[in-house]
A and B are shown apart, each in its own frame.
Chain A
Amino acid sequence: MIRSDPKVRAFHARLLATPCCAALVDHDRLAAALASPVGIVFVLRADGLELRPLVTSVHAAGKLVAVHLDLIDGVRPDRAGVRWLGHAGADAVISSHGQLMPAIRHEGMVAIHRLLLVRRGLLDAALAATSRSGADIVEVLPGVILPEVRALMPSLDVPLLAGGFIRNEAQARAALGAGAVGVTTSAENLWAVDLR
């Protein structure tokens, strides 16, 4: 179920319109991401203490920005770190720390919880953690194997994203076919592909 918050609705609508999201792993690719048709830029690597210019340029290009709290430099993945990202203008925050999802929502951002697929024996605990966290969206990693493991997962009541090792159109379409509403990828060749 999608939360009725306008920001969450807008984020979800953007995913439906442009299911391919740019995963930014270095600043050099920002220009390519901004010039591409993607609707959402996921910032995985950046100086978290100097985010505002980046966020401003993404917004100026008419795109939304999601920031990975656990991977950016300089910002600790805690409540104060979440507040900082809200202050920097992020539309969404991604984290593997489920306990931070309420704080992300409280700051008016979309909360994206990473679900890491390690092995089947750990899946139930990971699913329970995502269920408890109250995330708006769950990002499954590595997304490239979502089609192979989807049958092992119950249906979740929030939208799914797939990220990780999605490098070609067939893999992206397979992830969408397995139930993801969008894919995040650093493969620039996919940013221009219309996956709807």
Chain B
Amino acid sequence: MRLLTPILVASNGHEVIVPPPGLESGVLLRDLDLMALIAAAGTASTTLAVDLDSVEGLNADAAAARFLAVELGVDVVITRRPAVASRVAALGRTALLHVFAFDSTGLARSLEGHPREPGIGTVLSPGPVLDHLPPAEVERLPRPLVAYGFVETAEQAWSLLRCVDSVVVRPGCALDMARDGTPGWYALDKGGRGD
């Protein structure tokens, strides 16, 4: 199984994704249908993540979890459903429970359902909220932690990588991150990962 990478480039499976040169990156497939997902998954050569709830034609249940993990070899599955996350983790893949941070109360309620089991991390949307939370609040989020949604610029993405394990970005943003180069703090903090 391939590991969660610090950068996940979002794709609907229809565009050619150019990996950001010099950076560890994978692909997040989202907003596509089941047939397109199967086609795209077959060509993946890096870490492959799927936003299960955004795949048309695929139910968010245990059967879908098995299909993604076993049949398609998906490394990381994002889902809003705790039971599905548990199933994915039981199959030896990384599960990320999708929690929504619209306000403090909603985030707390969303986290109440987190299984907090080994192999189940957290995807938080929208990602830039994490830049506004106190470190202690971020630390309480089950790891690995991924920022997903509205990460629009390389500057935002690098900033978020100070407190998360991975960011979901659009292809253009990923290339901007590569062009800007890895910040010095990142190379030090992450032991050179991404160099």
Contact = CB atoms under 8 A, between A and B. Distances in A.
A145 B150 contact: yes
A104 B73 CA distance: 49
A118 B104 contact: no
Interface stretch (A58-66, A85-93, A127-135, A163-171): A163-171
Q: What is the size category of the interface that chain A forms with chain B?
A: 20 to 34
Interface in B37-94: none
Interface in B125-142: 125-126, 128-129, 132-133
B24 interface: no
Contacts of A152: 150, 152
B105 A165 contact: no
Contact of A171 (B30, B103, B126, B132): B132
A121 interface: yes
A12 B83 CA distance: 44
Interface in A133-166: 141-142, 144-145, 148-149, 152, 163-165
A145 B125 contact: no
B165 interface: no
Contacts of B125: 118-119
A175 B189 CA distance: 32
B105 A142 contact: no
A145 B126 contact: yes
Given A120-B150, A145-B150, A186 B126 contact: no
**Chain B CB within 10 A, most for which of A45, A71, A171:** A71
B158 interface: no
Contacts of B129: 142, 144-145, 165
Interface string B2-19: 000000001000000000
A122 to B, nearest CB: 8
Contacts of B133: 165
The 10 closest A-B pairs by CB, nearest first: A119-B149, A164-B103, A141-B102, A145-B128, A144-B132, A118-B125, A164-B102, A117-B126, A142-B102, A148-B128
A53 to B, nearest CB: 22
A171 B128 CA distance: 13
A19 B133 CA distance: 23
Given A121-B30, A145-B150, A152-B152, 16 more contacts: A117-B150, A118-B125, A119-B125, A119-B126, A120-B152, A141-B102, A142-B101, A144-B132, A148-B128, A149-B126, A149-B150, A163-B103, A164-B102, A165-B101, A165-B129, A165-B132
